[in-house]
Structure 1
Amino acid sequence: SYLAGDYEYSCWLLLVSLVLQCVFLTGWRYISWRMGRSMLNKRSILLVGSEDECNHVYNRLRHQPQLNMKLKYVCTDTGDGRWQKAAAEVDIVVICAGMEHDSKADIINYCHRHGKDVLLIPESVELFCIGAELDKIDDIPMFRLQGLCPSLEVRTMKRALDIAVSFIGFVCALPFMLSTAIAIKIGDPGPILYSQVRTGRKGKEFRIYKFRTMRVDAEKYSGPMLAQENDPRITRLGRFLRAVRLDELPQIWNVLNGDMSIVGPRPERPFFVEKFVQEMPEYAYRHNVKPGITGLAQVYGKYNTTPFDKLVYDLMYIQKCSILEDLRIIIQTVRVLFTKSATEGTGIVQKNIDVSKYEV
């Protein structure tokens, strides 16, 4: 009995130590990042890629003035080599997804030789190279790509963390859940909870629970739709609940039940899963792990982040999935709850680049 109690105490001590380390490291990285950004002068950028991709990056860039980056040139054709003259006059070269491998290699080599910073927007196939091991056949070097599937050890540790965090979270969130349930019942007639079928690990379907934020029978006539900014289906109270993410609290039961994890890709409806898999076959790899209440895409992305960009974040998380990574994302999620830009909807106005103004 004494040994069992001492072992349990040691486990809790280790868990608390890991949490404190993650809090310290996350805080230190954020402070260092802010200090580094504040000391930088405005840097000029060259965008290289298709016009659609450049427009996508441009619209994100213009909503992030704190980055101190200014678009100077756009190059949509690398065949004539004019991009080299533009690259010599800028500080950063951003290479968009979809470019040919040879063009990417030429630009990266040029930038390294001339001391230019390079930002490469990854394609899904490139994510498999993260953490690849060097191998060979005779004297031919090659990469042995890592599989996008966490080991049994990692999955076991994640499950232990899920049970501990969800149990503590349920106790702490109970007053908020009760007050939210009462507010929903008073403010809008209908059920308090809303359930929906989602796709989980290995494609297994399960029923997710949320506080209802939309009108009753919101999709009766429209059919399945993704949420939009100023969505008329969302109630007035529902907008507030979504902004502070209180509508997600009932999913703690899904975690305790084993259908979900605290950290992982957000579960999607089978209707949209089938659609996304047809457009992006790599989307199926998201189901190698349990879906989560929060995840890397929720920390770094927004409601209006494109499905492909969210997929990149999700696959990167699966690549480096660990209990420390989960703790770091949980801590960062708290910061995201108080960030207005993280709750932007899909209806944000897009502005196309005047290519003639920036063309090389």
Structure 2
Amino acid sequence: MDSEKDYSQFLLKLVVDSVVILLSWFGAYVLRFYVIPGGIGEPLRLFAPMSVLVLVLYLYFLNHNKLYRTGPNITWQTEIQLLLYSSVQVFLTLTVILYYLYGRRVSRLSIAIFMVIVTVLLIIERVIINRHLYKLRASGKRAKRVLLIGYGEGVTRYINEVISHPENGLHVVGQYNAHRHGDLRYVQFHGELEDVLATARPQIVVIGYPTAEREEEKRMISRCYDLIQRVMVIPDLPYSMIGSRIFDFHSIPVMQLNDVSITFFQRIGKRLYDFILTLVGTIAISPFLLLLAILVKVTSPGPVLYKQKRVTMDGKEFMMLKFRSMTDRPPGEEDGKWTTKDDPRVTPLGKFIRKTSLDELPQLFNVLKGDMSLIGPRPERPELVKKFVKEIPGYQLRHKVKAGITGWAQVNGYRGDTSLEGRIEYDLAYIKNWSFLLDFKIFILTFVRGFVNKNAY
């Protein structure tokens, strides 16, 4: 723990979690045997001792999944996902213990009721606690004192994030060894590091230098290595280096720059989610798809569907489907240009279906086939990919996951003729912070914010 404040935060969550778990256990007992019709009273002396086992199991898995770690680094999506993981782990462990190692049979319905109640209450409880801590940190009451050592783009980005997000509970007390490149909004410390630490009294020390100052950075890291304060280093890397993590390779510290934390089983889960939801949705709107196909066919000459090569995960090419919205062009006459406002190639019906995103609906079949996902970075043409890879750092990293019908960039307004750099930033943020909850959020936002977009020509 960094301080008494961290300990109190840990203790608060531990105590409230324990109360919620025990109330849920005995609440499930009452519901099963005294509220639900047909329940036969089960001796409380059987359920009371078992509450200790249930409490220990839950606290163990909550701690194992790092739900008692302090600090604002964990997102709400990740916290809910970890709570759900913990509940599944407790359920499986409890099932094994009760049905293979326990002498008496216990009502399965009561356990099911307990798992539902405790999971819902834990999520609600954590939301309430986190909102309380959010307000405390934003007010500065729980702010941690931060000393910056060095300068450069990484330090500047860090400062901007501290200022933009006061809920992180960080307060910069000054900057040291900035070589006349320091941020003048903060005290610029000079002299011996020990004297600066005694004066500034930081709880966190953040070190960052440009690449040209690597030797100076190494020297400062060496001097700060044995500090009692938490020490963090900002590597001189662009944000596009997604999924950076450090691990030991036979005692050699190695940093992996472009790791994607989506596991094999998560990919399977995402594929099942895509297939089932898309299959149900395609069947449900099939009459509407047929109507659109007829309208495309009768309003302009040419095929109903437009096929175009696009790039998806691992740089693989596939034929993406759309309802044709432009005048039919002979094969080989692709001009490789994005559609612009009042583009003469767009048909009258095409203008409407492009504006409302209805032209994208045939991509549901791309999802069923496995070329695309419902949620992910939008796919681009191979010739444009080759161009953007040379011009935009990190562009190729979009292909770490499957291309999607909609994505984080699109629901945040980056669609059509908008900033490509902004779109890439959102795409990489999606890959770096991926979770099932984030996919669900994007799915809902796609409908809430509507399909109509002013930049869709």
Fold shared by both chains (TM-score > 0.5): yes
**Match of 1:37?**
none
Q: Is the 8 A contact 1:148 1:285 kept in 2?
A: no
**Match of 1:266?**
378
Displacement, 1:132? 5.8
Displacement, 1:128? 3.8
Q: What are the equivalent positions in structure 2 for 1:252-263 lying under 5 Å apart?
A: 252-263=364-375
> Which one of the candidate residues 270, 287, 297 is aligned to 1:185?
297
Counterpart check, 1:305 vs 2:418:
yes
**Match of 1:331?**
444
Q: 1:189 & 1:173 partners in 2: Cα distance?
A: 25
Displacement, 1:177? 0.7
Q: 2:297 & 2:391 partners in 1: Cα distance?
A: 40
Which of 1 and 2 has greater Rg? Answer: 2
**Match of 1:197?**
309
Runs of 5+ unmatched residues, structure 2: 1-107, 132-179, 186-208, 212-235
**Match of 2:282?**
170
Counterpart check, 1:227 vs 2:339:
yes
Counterpart check, 1:283 vs 2:398:
no
Q: Secondary structure at the match of 2:405?
A: strand
Displacement, 1:266? 0.7
Change in 2 beyond 3 A, CA 1:142/1:259: closer
Task: Report the identity percentage.
Answer: 38
Q: Secondary structure at the match of 1:233?
A: coil
> Which one of the candidate residues 317, 321, 324 is aligned to 2:434?
321
Q: 1:271 & 1:149 partners in 2: Cα distance?
A: 29
Q: Is the 8 A contact 2:240 2:394 kept in 1?
A: no
Q: Is the 8 A contact 1:265 1:294 kept in 2?
A: yes
Q: 1:307 & 1:175 partners in 2: Cα distance?
A: 36
Q: 1:219 & 1:311 partners in 2: Cα distance?
A: 31
**Match of 2:454?**
343
Q: 1:323 & 1:276 partners in 2: Cα distance?
A: 29
Output the TM-score relative to the length of structure 1: 0.57
Change in 2 beyond 3 A, CA 1:124/1:143: closer
How many residues of Structure 1 are paired with residues of Structure 2 in the alignment? 239
Q: Is the 8 A contact 2:372 2:403 kept in 1?
A: yes
Q: Is the 8 A contact 2:245 2:259 kept in 1?
A: no
Q: Is the 8 A contact 1:158 1:322 kept in 2?
A: no
Q: Which has the higher contact order (CA 8 A, sep 6+)?
A: 1
Displacement, 1:185? 1.1
Runs of 5+ unmatched residues, structure 1: 1-5, 30-79, 86-99, 103-122, 347-360
Displacement, 1:127? 4.7
Tell me how large the CA RMSD over aligned residues is: 3.8
Q: Is the 8 A contact 2:244 2:259 kept in 1?
A: no
Moved more, 313-322 or 270-279: 313-322
Counterpart check, 1:125 vs 2:273:
no
